[in-house]
Structure 1
Amino acid sequence: MEKITIIDNEFVTMWYYPDKKIIHHLFHQFLYGQAFRDTLNAGLDIFKKYDAHKWLSDDRHNAALPKEDVDWAQTNWFPRVMNAGWKFWAVVMPEQVIGQMNMKRFVKNYSEQGLIVQVFGDAEAALTWLQSQ
């Protein structure tokens, strides 16, 4: 499957799979603040530019986000990415329990607003599921 690298730095790598309309990010370490927001906004730009509608979040190395980032993601970014066509989200949960609790809130909140969400233990299974959607 063809993939285009969107971001590749010490915090995150993000790819786009054009034939399946999938964005895939892999956090390399705890990501928050402006780096977190820039990453999510880069994904939003891909949704708009290429009519993507699937996202794979590999957050194994992330932790709980600061309240400001949670609020921004839920009230600012999420409505914009939903309007851009986001339909399916595959999540690889953080390894740390505190990060898992944080992600479970996002999963619950976003699924209640119409996003189809599945949680996985590894990125390969998550990608397989997204490809089938």
Structure 2
Amino acid sequence: MEEVYFKEDYLTLYYNRQNKTARAVWNGFLSGETLRHAIEQCNQLLDEEKPTNWLADNRKMKAIRQKDQVWIQANMIPKIVASSLRKMATLVSEDIFNRMAIENLFVKANDLIKFDHQYFKNEKAATQWLEEKHSIPS
């Protein structure tokens, strides 16, 4: 069963202990301290609960400023790389500038990321993909 881990207007974090899945539902334009606080909540969930799956619902998230992208790259990317994550599904934003920012962050971190990541437009498809067994390379 999914429980609310953190809730503000700009981010609601859910966690399902049964299937070790976190879901982050982003909303609106975040920058500066608000964005940093939201990322810190995500990092705290990673530390405390050790999820294996993450669903980033960015559909209602707006553009991310360049300086905030730099901060995310320095403060969140290393955290998710070292985390328990095995799969991450991203529901793409309706905002073209957010899509470009998120894709740019993943491109820059591509060599570091050791978990499967895919983009989706449909929440059901993203959830189904996360629920599939993770294939371990032989």
Q: By how many angstroms is 1:93 displaced?
A: 0.8
Give the direction of change, closer, same or farther, for the CA distance of 1:123–1:35 in structure 2 (3 Å limit): farther
Asked if the contact 1:111/1:117 (under 8 Å) is kept, the reply is: no
Q: Compare 26-35 and 108-117 and name the one that shifted more.
A: 108-117
TM-score by length of 1: 0.87
Aligned AA (1:79): P
Which structure's residues are more often helix, by fraction? 1
Q: By how many angstroms is 1:25 displaced?
A: 0.9
Q: How does 1:14-29 map to 2 (within 5 A)?
A: 14-29=13-28
Q: By how many angstroms is 1:110 displaced?
A: 3.3
What residue in structure 1 maps to residue 63 of structure 2?
64
Q: Which has the larger radius of gyration?
A: 2
TM-score by length of 2: 0.85
How much is the aligned-residue C-alpha RMSD, in angstroms?
1.7
Q: Compare 5-14 and 108-117 and name the one that shifted more.
A: 108-117
Q: By how many angstroms is 1:11 displaced?
A: 1.1
Q: By how many angstroms is 1:15 displaced?
A: 0.2
CA distance in 2, matches of 1:86, 1:32: 25
Give the direction of change, closer, same or farther, for the CA distance of 1:8–1:89 in structure 2 (3 Å limit): same
Which structure's residues are more often strand, by fraction? 2
CA distance in 2, matches of 1:25, 1:37: 15
Q: How does 1:1-133 map to 2 (within 5 A)?
A: 2-114=1-113, 115-132=115-132, 133=134
Unaligned 5+ segments in structure 2 are none
Unaligned 5+ segments in structure 1 are none
